[in-house]
Structures are given as structure tokens and as C-alpha cells.
Structure 1
Amino acid sequence: MSDAHDDADSPESDDPLAWEVTDSWVGYECPGFDIVHDEVRLPDGTETDYDYLVEPEAVVVLPFTRDGDVVVIEEWRHAVGRVNRGLPAGSVEEHDDDLAVAARRELTEETGYEADRVEHLTTVEPANGIGNSLFHYFVAYDCEDVDGQDLDFNETIRVETAEYDDLLAEARTGELRDGRAMTGLLYYELFGDDE
């Protein structure tokens, strides 16, 4: 897994606020992400260190059925110790030249649904103070349950559908807590189309 400094020659590295990386190594590796340790020099000359999470880019899918319901997943999230309601999502793989294809794959693997079409919604850096995560959001239209799930060994996912307005109400009350789902749902509500 590469670190976030592959673009060290970017224009941002010349910004007076940029930190200079004097040394960098992977401090911890596990399936799905690494923790990178950087030795850095701050703009005022102070030398310190900084650790952050490095993970592959991901796709997140907001899938609508032909009836306008949203396909949602419920999955155990060990870090918070509870079942979490969210949207289908997964890592972009090295051979994924087309992010829309990756979005279709993750939708089908996690839910068994296939989309008639998918469209890019937005791309965000959800936690760029602690990691290099990059989420590409897609809207999937006219989804149908066709194939059954094809889950990874460490995934246990329950698939449901929910009315769009009910999901918005869950976002409003705080019942929907998944950050990826909240971002996709609320971005779509503000800026997406009304299909």
C-alpha cells in the first residue's frame, strides 16, 4: 500500500504551510490499512513526528430501487461495538480503471442488487486530519435484487430497503450514525438529482 506522499512534487508541497517529510515508514500493517509514521519539519522549523492511516480509495453507493426505496446494509462494526446501518461500500482494487465498475461490483457483492445505471455523485476526503481516505460516491438507479451476496470472509451483512424520507428522518434524529451513509445521503439531498 502506498503512502500519501506519492505526490510530494505537487504544487501544494510548495505552499508555505506545507510540512517537509524528512523520513517515512510503515509502522503497522494489517489487511485493509497501514499506519504510516512520518518524521516531519514544520514551517517554523520544529521537528516532530506524525502517524496516520493509509488505505485504498473506496466507492460508496447510494442505491435506489425501481420503486424509489434505498437499499441499505446493516453490518457489525467492531470498533464501536454495534450493528451499523449504512450504504454498500468497498475498496477500489488495483485493476479498477473505471470507478463506476467498482461501484457496481461492491453493490452486487454486498447486497445482491444490480443497477440499471450508476452516476458519480461526489468525492470526499472524510478524515484528512488522520488519514488519506478518499471516498468516491455513486448513485445507483433502478436496482434489482438478482444474484445474492458474495461477501468477503470478514463481512456479515443484512440487506434491507428503506424509504428515502425515512432515512432522512434517521439522519435528522441521529439514529443514522454512519459517516459514509450520512455524507452520501445528505449530499444527494442537497445537490443530487430528483430521479
Structure 2
Amino acid sequence: MTDEATGTAAGAVVDTPEEWQVTATVTPFRGAKTSVRTDDVVMPDGSVVRRDYQVHPGSVAVLALDAEDRVVVLRQYRHPVRQKLWEIPAGLLDVPGENPLHAAQRELYEEAHVKAEDWRVLTDVYTTPGGCDEAVRIFLARDLSTAEGQRYDVSEEEADMELARVPLTELVRGVLAGELHNNCLVVGVLSAVAARAGEGFDALRPAGAPWPARPFDV
């Protein structure tokens, strides 16, 4: 079947793997979690250009939606942009091959002291593919309850972190008004609204769905 407006075959608008030839690579900077790499890449016309980008281990984020249609959010200082941003719980994939669901469950517990019984993959994104290889898997978590045990100790920026539960509709309004800017919150909120308006949350991918951008151990 073809879309009459665009002439594109149904299902043809899909990102696909491709790797252009790299003639040289150096890593001028290595940090605690990320590094900067410089590749000399062969273009289709045969020219060679230099591309600098951040190498990132990947991340997970959680759109945790409670029974009152409120989202668990936190407010945290982000030094590079000099702002306190409202965000959804998120964190790095610190362990190579770590199951992203396990990492997401950990982040929800550590940052919000919340657990969830129902988990789905909401969406997968590259945050800034022109300058960083970070891939993020955003989960939808439902059937929430308070986690058992003591709260996780926080430090540094997290020591000043605020927690709240905000109606999903209010977050949508804030996103469209230009008042909320965190990538995972924006993508997660709008994806949740689109999913519910479409086939519903139960039609989302299962929590253990494959993730080619960051393959993981089952």
C-alpha cells in the first residue's frame, strides 16, 4: 500500500543501519562516563571529512503514570544549560550489556522511591545524533506504589532535587507552551498521549523488546 500524498510505501519510513568508511579515529578526551571521538569519514563523493562527537554509554528514562493520570517528575539543576529543569526519572546505563528494564527500575527507585508493576517500552530515541551517539529507551511505568525500604541517599545536584506528581495534561500544556525543555520529558509525555489516543498503552512494545542501539543481556 502507498501513501497517495507522498508516494511512499507504507512502513517504508524506517531508520536503517548504515556505516560509512572511517579512515582514522582518535579520542582526544576521556571523561568518567563519556568521551569525545574524532573520525575521518569518507563521504559519498569520495571526500574525507572530520566529525567530532561525544561517545555515550546510553540512558534509560521512565514516564511513571499513576492512577490519577499524574506523572512522577523531578526538578534538578543542569549546569550546562544553567537551569533547573523538570524531568522524568532517568539515568545512565553504567554497566555494559545491562538490561535497560533493570536500570529503569533502579532509577525509579533511587530518584523517586517508587516501584511499578506494569512496564512497557514507550519509545527509543537518539538525543542529539549530529554530535553524540547517546541512545535513550523511555519506558512507560504504571500501577505505581511506594518502594519498600529506606530512601536512596542523594548527593551533588540530586541533593537539591524536588519531587512532584503533575497531571499529564498539564505537562503537555507546558511542553507546547515552551515552558518545559528536558528531552526525555518532552518525548515521553507526547509519546504517552499519542499512544493512548492510538491503539492504547497495552499495544506498546513489551518491556524486554530488543534494542539494537544498545543490545543487552536478558
> Into which bin does the TM-score normalised by the smaller protein fall?
0.7 to 0.9
Kindly provide the amino acid, as one letter, of the partner of residue 141 in structure 1.
R
Matched, 1:191 2:195: yes
Query: How far has the Cα of 1:65 moved from its partner?
Result: 2.2
Query: Can you give the 5+ residue segments of structure 1 that lack an aligned partner in the other structure?
Result: 1-9
Q: Residues 119-130 of structure 1 correspond to what in structure 2 (within 5 A)?
A: 119-130=120-131
- Two-structure CA RMSD over aligned residues (Å): 2.1
1:168 maps to 2:169: no
Structure 1 equivalent of residue 83 of structure 2: 82
- Is contact 2:138-2:184 (8 Å) kept? no
Check whether the contact 2:53–2:132 (CA below 8 A) recurs between aligned residues: yes
Please name the residue that 1:12 is paired with: 18
- Contact in 2 for aligned 1:110/1:150 (Cα 8 Å): no
1:77-116 equivalence runs, <5 A = 77-94=78-95, 97-116=98-117
Residue in structure 2 matched with residue 31 of structure 1 by the alignment: 32
CA distance in 2, matches of 1:41, 1:100: 37
Asked whether the equivalents of residues 100 and 119 of structure 1 are also in contact (C-alpha less than 8 Å), the reply is no
Give the whole-Å Cα distance in 1 for the aligned partners of 2:60 and 2:109: 13
Alignment partners' CA distance in 2, 1:99 and 1:187: 19
Q: Which residue of 2 aligns with 1:180?
A: 184
Give 1:68 shift.
2.4
CA shift in 2, pair 1:94/1:152, >3 Å: farther
Separation (CA, whole Å) in 2 of partners of 1:117 and 1:34: 35
Deviation at 1:191, TM superposition (A): 2.0
Distance 2:100 2:61 in 1: 10
Structure 1 residue 93: Cα displacement: 2.9
Query: Per-residue deviation at 1:100?
Result: 1.4
The answer to whether the 8 Å contact 2:29/2:35 transfers is yes
Equivalent residue for 2:151, pick from 148, 153, 158: 148
Q: Percent identity?
A: 27
- Following superposition, the deviation at residue 94 of structure 1 comes to 2.1
**Alpha-carbon spacing, 1:11–1:164, altered in 2? closer, same or farther (3 Å):** closer
TM-score, normalization by structure 1: 0.84
Q: Normalising to structure 2: TM-score of the pair?
A: 0.75
SS, match of residue 190 in structure 2: helix
SS in 2 for 1:138: strand
CA contact (8 A) 1:61 1:89 kept: yes
Cα pair 2:74 2:162 within 8 Å, conserved: yes
Report the Cα offset of residue 108 of structure 1: 0.8
Q: Which runs of 5+ in 2 are unaligned?
A: 1-15, 203-218
- 2:95 and 2:170 mapped to 1: Cα distance? 36
Q: How many residues are aligned here?
A: 181
**Distance (whole Å) between structure 2 residues aligned to residue 49 and residue 194 of structure 1:** 43
